Structure 1
Amino acid sequence: MKIAIIGYSASGKSTLASYLSKHYGISCLHLDKLRFLPNWQERPDEDMRSQLQTFLENDSWVIEGNYSDFYYQERMEDADQIILMAFSRWSCLYRAVKRYITYAGRVRESSAEGCIEKLDWEFIRWILKDGRSPKTQKRYQTICQTYADKVTILHSQKELDEFVSTVKIPL
């Protein structure tokens, strides 16, 4: 089983990926862990590509994150299921604030080592505006059209809860 989770920042991609990984007993990759070095410094592109390519060779996986420059199309093609977390900008902002309060001064399990949780104006702007660019919207629309038979779109916590309640262990 291969699951790709994409969507807006602070929509719950990491939490869902960790849950599905544990539920199905398959490897999980949080792309932020590959992208960043301590103190939110970006890892060199070639290093990230190499590590991601190695992970993609696994028979089963959950990969969460967007990073469209890093085997994005391959991840979508290889995935048995694609989950698009399309929560509203205000829900994502609420979740980001809640996450910051929970992890302030610490590193989340889904973050790279040495990347202490932060909530600054740049990230708030990303959640509310920049991360929802027409290019991003078009990319999600294309994924939904191209892979309609394996895409699940979740718009709210209620839909996420309903989805999680229907997750079955494969026979």
Structure 2
Amino acid sequence: MKIAIIGYSGSGKSTLANFLGQHYNCEVLHLDKIHFTSNWQERTVDEMTDDISTFMLQSDWIIEGNYSACLYEERMREADCIVYFNFNRVNCLYRAFRRYLTYRGKTRPSMAEGCNEKFDFAFVKWILLDGRSQKNVTKFKVVVKKYPDKTIVLKNQKQLNNYMKKVKKLL
């Protein structure tokens, strides 16, 4: 099983990826974890692409995150299932703030070591505005249109809960 999880920041992609990884006994790659090094230093696209390419050689994988410059189309094409989190911005902001309260002063498991959780103006702006640019919205719409038979769109917590219940029943 190969699963790509995409969508807006703060929507719950990492949480679902961990759930699916445990459920299917499958390794998870959190792209934030390979995008950053300690203290929020960014790695190059080439470095990330090398890591993703190697990870994708496995027969089963779960890749969580967007990073369209890093084998995005290849990930979507090779995935057996694409889960697209299309939660509204206010919900994402609330979830990100709740995550901040949980991990304040610490590094969350889906982030690179030494990147303590933060909730600053730039991140709030990303969740509410920049991350929802026309380019990003279009990128997600293209995936849904190009891969309708293998894409699951989740718009709220109720749909996410139902999806997780359905997955639990499959095995």
TM-score (ref. length: structure 2): 0.98
Asked if 1 retains the 8 angstrom alpha-carbon contact of 2:45 and 2:69, the reply is no
Give the CA deviation at 1:44: 2.0
Q: Which residue of 1 aligns with 2:124?
A: 124
Q: Which residue of 1 aligns with 2:142?
A: 142
- 1:28-78 deviation per Cα after TM superposition (whole angstroms, max 9, x unaligned): 000001100001000122211111110010100110000000000000000
Give the CA deviation at 1:170: 6.0
Q: Which residue of 1 aligns with 2:29?
A: 29
Q: Which residue of 2 aligns with 1:3?
A: 3
Q: Which residue of 2 aligns with 1:53?
A: 53
Pairing 1:153-164 to 2, within 5 Å after superposition: 153-164=153-164
Q: Which residue of 1 aligns with 2:19?
A: 19
| Aligned residues: CA RMSD | 1.0
Q: Percent identity over the alignment?
A: 51
TM-score (ref. length: structure 1): 0.98
Structure 2 SS opposite 1:140: helix
Residue identity in the other structure for 1:90: V
**Larger deviation: 45-54 or 27-36?**
45-54
Residue identity in the other structure for 1:73: E
Asked if 2 retains the 8 angstrom alpha-carbon contact of 1:24 and 1:169, the reply is no
Unpaired runs of 5+ residues, structure 2, are none
Pairing 1:107-118 to 2, within 5 Å after superposition: 107-118=107-118
